[in-house]
A and B are shown apart, each in its own frame.
Chain A
Amino acid sequence: MEVGTVVFYLIALLVVASAAMVAFSHNIIYSAFSLLGTFAGVAGIYVFLGADFVAAVQLLIYVGGILVLILFAVMLTHRITDVQITNRSAGVVPGLIIVGLLFWLLYETITTTPWAKAKEIAYAATSAKIGDQFLQSYLLPFELASIVLLAALIGAVVLARKEMKG
């Protein structure tokens, strides 16, 4: 096997293992921390796919932002010393059955569909192209995104602050 293939399988293993940890761990803090492995691993997958910019964004926003946010929320809503940091599950068996069925369907679809093939598979720096696209074809969504983020920002502040008047 080539080195690249080995690396891919290693990263994929990391991603799957940590995602499984997220899904099955009984301790929510373990879940939250193993999310780090998933996010970082997915960034590695992006690098494999020649998406350098997306990988950087993934690291910055997911690992640097969302993960920290989740950890904060975990810490704020559970006392660390509390024994009850459990992560109670409900309906394990039916959940596993239906998700297993779903995976089987997805797998069938993926392997049987004749996917379109690109003319050439390029590994080039993409930041410049993405920047160009953002200010040309995707200008409107780009601007809308800024409004959505602003709204989310204000919304989060309004929701999370303590009500002043009792």
Chain B
Amino acid sequence: MEHPIQTDYLRWIVLLPLIGAALNGLLGAQLQKRVGKWLISIIACAPVVIAFGISAAAFLKLKALEPEERFLIDHVYPWLHVGSLSVDVSFWVDPLSAVMILVVTGIGGLIHIYSTGYMHDDRSYWRFFAFLNLFTFSMLLLVLADSMLLMFIGWEGVGLCSYALIGFWYHDHVNTRAGNKAFIVNRVGDFGFILGIFLIFWTLDAQGHATLAFREITKNAALLQGQMLWGVPVATLATLFLFLGATGKSAQIPLYVWLPDAMQGPTPVSALIHAATMVTAGVYMIARLNAVFSLAPETLHVVAAIGAATALGAATIALTQNDIKRVLAYSTISQLGYMFLAAGVAAYAAGVFHLMTHAFFKACLFLGSGSVIHAMGGEQDMRKMGGLKKYMPWTFWTFTISVLAIAGVPGLAGFFSKDEILWQAFSSEHGSPWLWLVGVVCAGLTAFYMFRQLFMTFFGECRADHHTKEHLHESPKVMTLPLAVLAVGAIAAGYIGLPAVFGPNFFGHWLEPVLGGGHEEHASAALELGLMLVSIGVAALGILLAYLMYYKKTLSPDVFASLAGGVFYRLFDRKYYVDELYQKVFVGGALKLAAIGVWIDTNIIDGMVNGTARLTVFVSWLNGLFDNYVIDGMVNAVADLTYWSGGKFRKVQTGSINGYLYVILGAVVVAIIIKLRYAG
């Protein structure tokens, strides 16, 4: 760690997508018209693919080093050196960011390739890819940044691109509103993030270690211990602010409301930004600053509680949704909740592991749903689908594999990562059986709603109208190939992080230099196996229920919907009324505040003014009496005098600016002369 290896190629991982974005953004419209869409595709896809190659090279280089020395850095140029603040533009790769850049460039590259098929008929083809590349650039900047300030730029950048891409089809007002919502809600989180940065910088500055670089912060994190601000430990306050930022970007309670609406964007965007990469930024940031977070057990409790609550809340909402993408959106929120649950019990490696496996199967699910939507001619309602299995076999099989993976079927990626989290939630020193229980319930719910989606979309009778049915077709190769690759990932990615009872956890060891060792104490292998069986059982129960309800149709979903008088169903269906609540409290609150301001203005301030006026009227009435009877003549004389002199003086107010200036300057000159005469 002390002597990082200097390189000069990491910058290209970040710069290549930027070049692609610049080319497509500035020249794209012309290129598309003059040359054709194929050139746009190459300009967009090539940088990401090459960046993946460089990332892989960096990864291999890192792998060849000793675990303690796995650290590459690329100083590009010194950026800010002001006072005690000094920030460089430099990129670093350590085991954690190596995993992230592989995910971002790898899955991002696949999604780029997929998009060339999905967006093929769009008029603004070039604009789409310019933003997609810009997003990839920002995300890589966020991941590779070696200081919090640089990370913040990437953090803002991904938010901006997300906004631009959600509202990509801006002709429809709904889409632009969704974009605005995402941007504004994210802004609330960003505000917390930047306060957290300030707080850490200030405190370390006061201790004589002013820095924003992650490496230095990690090294000096101990200095934050025992520092207080307003009676609260600084570490707790700062991490809470940072976590607020994470809830915004990663769609956790209370700031998750933007993600379901973000589904208004094109489906590849949902896959890339709102499932695989950007929304994991919060998890990455917490893992990156794990040294600081570990100092604040209170924050960790909050993180774990919010993670668990989000996982449960979003999973229950997903049960009732009928829009194919909204189910996936809530599923994403729920899975992100798992990751925060892991971070909250200080099992950062498990969180990052789930982040990675989730990226594979969720990207595959989104792209698969995109393929379905593409075939259905834009239809997103699952109630109008069904029986698509025979029309689109590739999409069906890849989708099925991903559903099995996310549902936690043993042997697939999702099983291993989810189980690792559940085990850590149970056994870690910050964990508790309650967190485990919530996690297991969520696993069951996840299995249920994912299989519900699978059955509703691909099995049974086709419920589409005749016209749509005629056009049903498998998507082109550029779309199915990425699906296949992602499906393979969804199967295989789990085997690099096997639970301890089965074999070596390569993933955990890989991240150990950054995130600290896993909890190797092992209460007992039997307990771990037992818990694993419980979660498998719960998942199987969920799958069985979905099978009975939506495949066999022997069990009516209405039975469950009407439980407890349908209260739960309505609650889930209306998403716990959170949108309505926010509308009332924040939007309505702001309006109320304005109304109060108006009231104060009309009643109190105007009242005061009116009161003064009335008083004046009264006094002048008295005055008038006095005038009329006592000094009428005198007043008249004064009034006449005033009128007369006013008439004379009126001529001075010429309105001529030159005239005024003459007077002013003349006065100044006279004043200086007098001053000189009497002073000198």
Which positions in A face B, CB cutoff 8 Å? Answer: 90-91, 94-95, 98-99, 101-102, 105, 108-109, 112, 131-132, 135-136
Contact = CB atoms under 8 A, between A and B. Distances in A.
A132 B662 contact: no
A27 B82 CA distance: 49
A135 B662 contact: no
Contacts of A98: 662, 665-666, 669
A108 B676 contact: yes
A118 B562 CA distance: 88
- Chain A to chain B: the 6 pairs with minimum beta-carbon distance, closest first: A135-B82, A105-B672, A101-B669, A98-B665, A102-B669, A136-B83
B658 A91 contact: yes
Interface string B656-680: 0010001001101100110010001
B658 A90 contact: yes
Q: Is the interface of A mostly helix, strand, loop or mixed?
A: helix
Contacts of A108: 676
Q: Is the interface of B mostly helix, strand, loop or mixed?
A: helix
Nearest to A108: B676
Contact of B83 (A102, A109, A135): A135
B665 A105 contact: no
Contacts of A136: 82-83
Kindly name the residue among A101, A131, A136 whose own CB sees the greatest number of chain B CB atoms within 10 A.
Answer: A101
B670 to A, nearest CB: 9
A105 B668 CA distance: 11
Given A98-B666, A98-B669, A108-B676, A132 B658 contact: no
Given A91-B662, A108-B676, A131 B669 contact: no
Interface string B52-84: 000000000000000000000000000000110
A135 B84 CA distance: 11
B83 A105 contact: no
B656 to A, nearest CB: 9
Contacts of A91: 658, 662
B81 to A, nearest CB: 9
A135 B668 CA distance: 37
A102 B662 CA distance: 12
Given A91-B658, A132-B82, A136-B83, A105 B676 contact: yes
Contacts of B668: 102
Nearest to B665: A98
B669 A105 contact: yes
A91 B661 CA distance: 12
Contacts of A112: 680
Contacts of B662: 91, 94-95, 98
A115 B665 CA distance: 25
Interface in B252-274: none
B83 A132 contact: yes
A108 B672 CA distance: 11
Nearest to A95: B662
A130 to B, nearest CB: 11
21 contacts: A90-B658, A91-B658, A91-B662, A94-B662, A95-B662, A98-B666, A99-B665, A101-B669, A102-B668, A102-B669, A105-B669, A105-B672, A105-B673, A105-B676, A108-B676, A109-B676, A112-B680, A131-B82, A135-B83, A136-B82, A136-B83
Contacts of B669: 98, 101-102, 105
Nearest to B666: A98
Given A91-B662, A105-B673, 9 more contacts: A91-B658, A95-B662, A98-B665, A99-B665, A101-B669, A102-B669, A105-B669, A105-B676, A135-B82
A47 to B, nearest CB: 26
Nearest to B85: A135
A88 to B, nearest CB: 11
A161 B680 CA distance: 54
Contacts of A105: 669, 672-673, 676
Contact of A102 (B658, B665, B680): B665
A132 B672 CA distance: 38
B157 to A, nearest CB: 22
Contacts of A101: 669
A94 B669 CA distance: 13
Contacts of B658: 90-91
Kindly name the residue among B82, B665, B676 whose own CB sees the greatest number of chain A CB atoms within 10 A.
Answer: B82
A135 B658 CA distance: 41
A137 B672 CA distance: 34
Interface in B83-121: 83
A101 B670 CA distance: 10
